[in-house]
Structure 1
Amino acid sequence: MLWRTKSHHSETSEQDLSRTTSAAKNDAAASASQAAGTAWLAGHLHHLTPEQEAKLEEFKKVCAEHKYYTPAVVAADGVEASPASHGDATMLRFLRARRFDVEGAWGQFKDTEDWRKENDIEDLYANIAVDKYEASRRMYPQWTGRRDRRGIPIYVFEIRHLNSKQMAAYNDTMNSAKPETHKKSSVPPRLLTLFALYENLLNFVMPLCSALPRPNPETPIVSSTNIVDVSGVGLKQFWNLKSHMQDASVLATAHYPETLDRIFIIGAPSFFPTVWSWIKRWFDPNTTSKIFILSAAEVNSTLTSFMEPSSIPKQYGGELEWQWGEMPNLDAPAHELVHDLEQPAADGSSKKELLKGPVLFKGDTVEVLGTVDGTPRRKTIPVPQPQGSTQATQVPASTSTAQANGGAETTPNPPVVEDEKTVLDNAPVNAEEPQTTTAAA
Structure 2
Amino acid sequence: MKQYTSNIKKGKEIIEYYLKQMEEEGLTHLPRWTPTTKQQECLTSTSDHSTSPALNIPTVNSTDGHNSRDSHPTSSSPPEPLSSTPDDKLEADYIKRYLGDLTPLQESCLIRLRQWLQETHKGKIPKDEHILRFLRARDFNIDKAREILCQSLTWRKQHQVDYLLSTWSPPQVLHDYYAGGWHHHDKDGRPLYVLRLGQMDTKGLVRALGEESLLRHVLSINEEGLRRCEENTKIFGRPISSWTCLVDLEGLNMRHLWRPGVKALLRIIEVVEANYPETLGRLLILRAPRVFPVLWTLVSPFIDENTRKKFLIYAGNDYQGPGGLVDYIDKEVIPDFLGGECLCEVPEGGLVPKALYRTPEELESEDIRLWTETIYQSASVFKGAPHEVLVQIVDASSVITWDFDVCKGDIVFNIYHSKRAPQVPKRDTLGAHGITSPVCNNVQLIDKAWQLGRDYSMVESPLTCKEGESVQGSHVTRWPGFYILQWKFHNMPACATSSLPRVDDVLASLQVSSHKCKVMYYTEIIGSEDFRGSMTSLESSHSGFSQLSAATTSSSQSHSSSMVSR
Shorter-chain TM range is 0.5 to 0.7
Aligned with 1:243: secondary structure? Answer: helix
Q: For 2:118, which of 64, 86, 103 is the aligned residue?
A: 64
What is the match of residue 154 of structure 1? 192
Q: For 1:191, which of 200, 211, 215 is the aligned residue?
A: 215
1:324 counterpart = 2:346: yes
Distance 2:542 2:325 in 1: 32
1:5-404 correspondence to structure 2 within 5 Å:
45-65=99-119, 67-68=120-121, 85-128=125-168, 130-132=169-171, 135=174, 139=178, 141-144=180-183, 146-163=184-201, 166-168=204-206, 171-172=207-208, 174=209, 188-203=212-227, 205-212=228-235, 214=236, 217-219=237-239, 221-240=240-259, 241-300=261-320, 301=322, 302-325=324-347
Pick the structure with greater CA Rg: 2
Distance 1:403 1:252 in 2: 20
Residue 164 and residue 188 in structure 1: after superposition, are their counterparts in 2 closer, same or farther (change >3 A)? closer
User: Which residues of structure 1 form unaligned runs of 5+?
Assistant: 1-40, 71-83, 176-186, 327-397, 408-419, 423-441
Distance 2:309 2:346 in 1: 26
User: Which residues of structure 2 form unaligned runs of 5+?
Assistant: 1-94, 349-538, 550-566
Aligned with 2:99: secondary structure? Answer: coil
Q: Report which of the two has the higher share of strand.
A: 2
Residue 297 and residue 189 in structure 1: after superposition, are their counterparts in 2 closer, same or farther (change >3 A)? closer
Distance 1:280 1:165 in 2: 21
For the aligned residue pairs, the C-alpha RMSD in angstroms reads 3.3
Distance 1:258 1:402 in 2: 21
Aligned with 2:189: secondary structure? Answer: coil
Residue 134 and residue 164 in structure 1: after superposition, are their counterparts in 2 closer, same or farther (change >3 A)? closer
Aligned with 1:227: secondary structure? Answer: strand
Distance 1:280 1:248 in 2: 13
1:235: Cα distance to partner?
2.3
Deviation per CA, 1:163-218: give whole Å up to 9, x if none. 266325xx43x35xxxxxxxxxxx94443343333222223x22332232x3xx23
> Do the aligned partners of 1:86 and 1:402 also contact (CA within 8 Å) in 2?
no
1:318: Cα distance to partner?
2.4
How many residues are matched? 262
Aligned with 1:211: secondary structure? Answer: helix
- The one-letter amino acid of 2:192's match is I
- The one-letter amino acid of 1:153's match is P
1:267: Cα distance to partner?
1.2
Residue 188 and residue 157 in structure 1: after superposition, are their counterparts in 2 closer, same or farther (change >3 A)? closer
Higher relative contact order (CA 8 A, sep 6+): 1
Deviation per CA, 1:265-287: give whole Å up to 9, x if none. 11111232222111211211000
1:239: Cα distance to partner?
3.6
Residue 276 and residue 192 in structure 1: after superposition, are their counterparts in 2 closer, same or farther (change >3 A)? closer
Distance 2:293 2:204 in 1: 26
1:325: Cα distance to partner?
1.6
Distance 2:151 2:282 in 1: 25
Distance 2:148 2:172 in 1: 27
- The one-letter amino acid of 1:235's match is M
Residue 226 and residue 309 in structure 1: after superposition, are their counterparts in 2 closer, same or farther (change >3 A)? same
Distance 2:107 2:285 in 1: 35
Deviation per CA, 1:34-63: give whole Å up to 9, x if none. xxxxxxx99x81310111111111211232
